[in-house]
């Protein structure tokens, strides 16, 4: 990743007509290209497709991008796809921000294109502002201790402790009363 300020690419997906049929994608691209830190803004019919992903990879290489904003559908649908694009391009996959333009703009405002476009622009502005502040996240492995703490020595606690022990975990059972058994011990 280059040193210096954020070099953000904004990639707007048409999602077929799901987004482009309501939101003015050209206006959104034009406005996004003028946001602070944005060095390129592109739109494509299906950004999640192989050609769409290739467009992002080429822009990362050509413009030296170090942050990516994708304005598309729900992050739960394709966030991992776009993280993979960043990873394949040599960028930290956590330097990505996704603006959910489909579910938050074009679908709820399907009969109000101007309102949908205005809202989409605000979502992209927020995503770009957040992207400027993103820092790389490094994954690391940490050792784990295969043990469990069970709080409560009633029937449920004892059952849970036995199940965990049978699964091979070291179990610590704590009870506030002097003996276990809960209500059954009374």
**Are residues 42 and 118 located together in one domain of the fold?**
yes
The pLDDT assigned to 139 comes to 87
Q: What are phi and psi of 126, to 5 degrees?
A: -65, -40
CB atoms within 10 A of CB 149: 10
**Are residues 156 and 92 located together in one domain of the fold?**
no
CATH code for the domain in which residue 51 is found: 3.40.50
Largest CA distance in the chain: 74
List, for residues 49-98, the tens digit of each pLDDT value: 999 999 999 999 999 999 999 999 988 889 999 999 999 999 999 999 99
Domain annotation covers residue 137: no
Residue 177 pLDDT class (50, 70, 90 cuts): confident
Number of domains in the chain: 2
List, for residues 119-142, the tens digit of each pLDDT value: 999 999 999 999 999 999 998 999
Q: How far apart are CA 137 and CA 121, in angstroms?
A: 27
State which residues form the domain around 172: 147-184
The pLDDT > 70 percentage for the chain reads 96
Tell whether the model's pLDDT for residue 166 goes beyond 90.
yes
Local structure of residue 149 (DSSP, 8 states): E
**Are residues 52 and 120 located together in one domain of the fold?**
yes
Which has the closest alpha carbon to 85: 50, 123, 137, 39? 50
**Are residues 88 and 35 located together in one domain of the fold?**
yes
């Amino acid at each position: 990743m280059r040193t210096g300020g954020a070099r953000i690419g904004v990639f707007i997906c048409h999602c077929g007509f799901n987004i482009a049929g309501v939101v003015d994608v050209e206006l959104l691209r034009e406005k996004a290209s003028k946001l602070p830190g944005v060095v390129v803004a592109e739109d494509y019919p299906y950004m999640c497709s192989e050609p769409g992903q290739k467009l992002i990879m080429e822009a990362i290489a050509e413009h030296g991008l170090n942050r990516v904003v994708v304005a598309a559908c729900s992050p739960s649908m394709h966030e991992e796809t776009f993280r993979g694009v960043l990873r394949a391009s040599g960028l930290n996959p956590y330097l990505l921000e996704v603006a959910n333009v489909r579910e938050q703009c074009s679908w709820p405002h399907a009969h109000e294109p101007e309102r949908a476009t205005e809202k989409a622009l605000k979502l992209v502005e927020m995503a770009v502002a957040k992207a400027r502040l993103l820092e790389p996240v490094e994954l690391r492995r940490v050792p784990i201790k295969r043990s469990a703490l069970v709080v409560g020595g009633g029937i449920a606690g004892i059952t849970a402790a036995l199940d965990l022990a049978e699964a091979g975990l070291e179990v610590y059972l704590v009870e506030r009363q002097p003996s276990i058994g809960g209500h059954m011990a009374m």
